[in-house]
Structure 1
Amino acid sequence: MRRRQAAPVCSDHRIDLLQGAGEFFDALIRDMDAALSDIQFETYIFDCTGAGSRVAEAFIRAAQRGVRVHVAVDGVGCMGGLPSPWPERLAEAGVQWQVYSAPGRFGLLWPKRWRRLHRKLCVIDGCVLYCGGINVLDDFHDPNHGALQAPRFDFAVRVVGSLVAEASDTMEQLWWRMRAVRDARRHRLGDALADLRAASAARVAAAHEARQPQGMRAMLVLRDNVRHRSRIEQAYLRAIGTARHEIIIANAYFMPGAKLRRALVLAARRGVRVRLLLQGRYEYFMQYHAARPVYGVLLEAGVEIHEYSPSFLHAKVAVVDAEGEHPWATVGSSNLDPLSMLLAREANVVVEDAAFAQDLRGRLVHAMAHAGEQLGPACYAGRPLRQRLLDRVAFALMRAALWVTGHRY
């Protein structure tokens, strides 16, 4: 039985899996330094501490040689803006910078302000896409917790193929919508840059072809509050519902809704090995404590839960039947929690390719074996009373917040 899809899956892609900001920044900056026409960039957090400054410097170099550079950041993720002299340097070079939904006078007290730009996308010259969970943030630095002893655990992908155009279009539309312009297409670069874009696409594809097999099946799955309200959730539900052998999910902020919980329980009960690699280190009160009340029903069904604690787990990835007939994997920005599933703009790349799925699976299995601590039913049931109370309080607050927004989850 062939897996059903919510959108067409094209077979003309070449995809690299990148782990951590180090690999991501190296590849991203190399492509930005070769850009000929334009760079479109979206992120939730943009922090110039440490390695993050390398990305800002790459924007400046590109803009100074005449490349159009559009950068959109989230108003909460980048609350307070960049420290001086970065805003002045970026503006002087010609980098165009916009903030998505700044909190404003009443901050996040207005529920509509909870709709955030959480996706991490970059399109270069219309021919290369980067998508994943990695912010512009040094792997060994956390804005709230300071220096980290181990790198943040996260992933992104570099994509060449037909889905790049879809990503470029949705980013362009958001950019000009933020400028209150209805027709995005009339504001794209003129015909004078068309030849440069085509030449750049051919150059990048040719350089990449020797390193990567052709014909990888992939699609871009977006989530917004208009046309694509549940596409990412539906992609997960289809993959979990048709799994035959194994499901591995690594997710930073894990609070799945009723449908996802039911799908995982049913998969485990029909004999599928289900393993979750989740945040084991305290980062935020709500995300840490509100997730734990849902663990019980999963553990009872036989789902394995591994908690990652050497550093912060920030990944939003999954692999289903990597060694089966229909391998499925996803890498993106979407957590499995109400903020991502119901409110934020998110972007995931779904890949149906055995080699890619096995590569991602190997990295997740290694992390579970060497950096994860399995949480058993007895250990979960024996949590201290104070922790269980905090878990219930956070869970109740999360449910109350959903009620305020009018969503059911």
Structure 2
Amino acid sequence: MTASPTARAQRPRRSSRWVPGNHFELLENGEEFFPRVFDSIRNARSEVLLETFILFDDKIGQALHAALLEAAQRGVQVHVLVDGFGSPDLPPEFIASLVQAGVHFRVFDPGGRRLFGQRLNLLRRMHRKIVVVDGELAFIGGINYSADHVADFGPQAKQDWSVAVRGPIVAHMHRFARRAVLPRHEQKRQRRTPLPELPHAGSADALFVTRDNDLHTTDIERHYRIALRAARERVVIANAYFFPGWRLVRALRRAARRGVQVSLILQGEPDMPIVKTAASLLYDHLLRAGVRIYEYCERPLHGKVALVDGQWSTVGSSNLDPLSLSLNLEANVVIRDEAFNDLLYGRLQRLMQDSCKQVRPQPQGAFEGLRLLRGYCVYHLMRWFPTWAGWLPRHQPTISLVRPGAQ
């Protein structure tokens, strides 16, 4: 692997105003997501841009590999960016066959030192999951390219969502994805090129919102808080890794106290036990304000979706935890559309009714004071985590291009 010059974290201009005329198709789990993405790549005419945190050499990774290889062999420009921590063990022949066919394969922060066999480059990961085909069709969500996103994987198969996107917002996603993978001189040319005017594909207004460690450190969290402050009827959040900062917790509590039905769907059968332990530290604080908490117990929850009232929704890669809100590079779409909101609400309502256990407030007892003290300490720990997250190891990530013939 030959490293290209150090690439600074991208600082592209994002869509700061609602972009009208879009269509969003909700894709639940790998069964709906993978066939759509693979077919789109196979039908690509000129370009495929793909970013992912995880790409494994399993049946899903091999299916993606075949689609990318076929596209590149017939002259489609294919750019792939994977995270070096999330995708550490791809066989050399897996990558080499793509590169030799003309795929531009890049790794975000590759390698990394190890201590007692453990990788040390855990922080500030490229956690986005974006695909853009021909600048016209995009996919974004929380689904990685691994077999644990399809049901036949077994009890540990993940529950997740993504969306297929058409319409003018795709131009914003396309420009961002190109800047993430292109060399710096190409990025400068992109900045001088006006956005293409894509035809309207539906009735949804949309924002493309990202988080980085430079200019957009709190954008995704800010849109959550804006929506929670405006909520009047209902809020439903399904999020795999839930340990948000105090401002977001405060917004949830205030919404519930003014009569909004606030429901959280969190992990009941987590892929990492510490996830449930961390979230449960907040339960008492939230339940006392009237927030309803449901633990999804059918299999691990990996989703990152939310809705507010009858219009606002969001789907993307961002969890509501310190990694996603203060360290990782993330991307979400925010959608303003009644039909999409209603569809997502129906899916989440079914999940709560059929596959979740509602958490009930604990009765007061001998350890009531200890529980209150624990809640107070956790609350104020959250209040300061954006500050102390800035003290964690910070480095300039590199994006390395794999060149033909490189080992």
TM-score range with shorter-chain normalisation?
A: 0.7 to 0.9
2:247 is matched with: 259
Whether the 8 Å contact between 2:179 and 2:190 is mirrored in structure 1 is no
Q: TM-score, normalised by structure 1?
A: 0.81
For 2:141, the equivalent position in structure 1 comes to 132
1:73 counterpart = 2:82: yes
Which consecutive residues of structure 1, in runs of 5 or more, have no partner in the other structure?
1-5, 191-196, 384-389
Structure 2 length normalisation: TM-score?
A: 0.81
Measured in 2, the distance between the counterparts of 1:46 and 1:39 equals 16
Residue range with higher mean Cα deviation, 397-406 or 275-284: 397-406
CA contact (8 A) 1:286 1:394 kept: no
| Correspondence 1:184 to 2:187 | yes
Q: Is the 8 A contact 2:29 2:150 kept in 1?
A: no
The one-character-per-residue Cα deviations of 1:140-164 (angstroms, maximum 9, x if unpaired) are 579xxx9423642111111111111
- Aligned sequence identity (%): 38
Structure 1 pair 54–269 and aligned structure 2 pair: CA distance change class (3 A):
same
**How many angstroms apart in 2 are the aligned matches of 1:42 and 1:104?**
20
Letter in 1 for 2:26: L
Match of 1:89 in 2: 97
1:129-278 alignment to 2 at 5 Å?
129-139=138-148, 147-149=153-155, 151-176=157-182, 179=183, 181-186=184-189, 214-278=202-266
Which string of whole-angstrom CA distances, capped at 9 and with x for unpartnered residues, describes residues 376-409 of structure 1? 11289999xxxxxx999999999889736338xx
User: What is the distance in 1 between the residues matched to 2:185 and 2:43?
Assistant: 31
Output aligned runs, 1:7-26, within 5 Å: 7-26=16-35
- Structure 2 counterpart of 1:168, one-letter code: H
Q: 2:68 aligns with which of 53, 59, 63?
A: 59
Aligned to 1:315: 303
Counterpart of 2:388 in structure 1 is 403
CA apart distance, 1:174? 1.9
Cα pair distance change 1:147/1:17, threshold 3 Å: closer
**Structure with the largest fraction of helix:** 1
Residue type at the aligned position of 1:231: D
> Take 1:171 and 1:9, find their aligned partners in 2: how far apart are those partners?
19
Matched residues in 1 for 2:235 and 2:354: separation? 19
How many residues are aligned here?
A: 368
Q: Cα RMSD (Å) of the superposition?
A: 3.4
Off by >3 Å, runs of 4+ in structure 1? 106-111, 139-142, 185-188, 379-383, 390-402
Matches within 5 A, 1:306-345: 306-322=294-310, 327-345=311-329
Aligned to 1:105: 113
Question: Aligned partners of 1:396 and 1:264: how far apart in 2?
Answer: 16
Q: Report deviation, 1:105.
A: 2.1
Check conservation: 1:14, 1:160, Cα contact below 8 A.
Answer: yes
Give yes or no for contact 2:312–2:336 (8 Å, CA) kept in 1.
yes
Q: Which residue of 2 aligns with 1:293?
A: 281
Residue matched to 2:403: none
Q: Is the 8 A contact 1:290 1:394 kept in 2?
A: no
> Could you report, residue by residue, the CA deviation over 1:255-310 in whole angstroms, capped at 9, with x for unpaired residues?
01100000000000000000000011132244332222111110111111101121
Task: Say if 1:100 and 1:397 are closer, same or farther in 2 by CA, change over 3 A.
Answer: farther
Q: Is the 8 A contact 2:130 2:141 kept in 1?
A: yes
Within 1, Cα distance between the matches of 2:124 and 2:365? 35
Q: What SS does structure 1 have at the residue aligned with 2:351? A: helix
Q: Could you say if the C-alpha distance between residues 402 and 102 of structure 1 is closer, same or farther in structure 2, counting changes exceeding 3 Å?
A: farther
Cα pair 1:319 1:328 within 8 Å, conserved: yes
Equivalent residue number for residue 3 of structure 1: none
Contact 1:73–1:98 (CA under 8 A) maintained in structure 2: yes
Secondary structure of 2:282's partner? helix
Conserved? CA contact 1:32–1:39, under 8 Å = yes
Greater relative contact order structure (CA < 8 Å, 6+ sep): 2
| Cα distance, 1:27–1:400 mapped onto 2, change above 3 Å | closer
Contact 1:150 1:310 in 2 (8 A): no
Structure-2 residue corresponding to 1:280: 268
Change (3 A) 1:183 1:48: same
Kept in 2, the 8 Å contact 1:268–1:302? The answer is yes
User: For residue 89 of structure 1, what is the amino acid of its counterpart?
Assistant: S
Closer, same or farther: CA 382–294 of 1 in aligned 2, 3 Å: farther
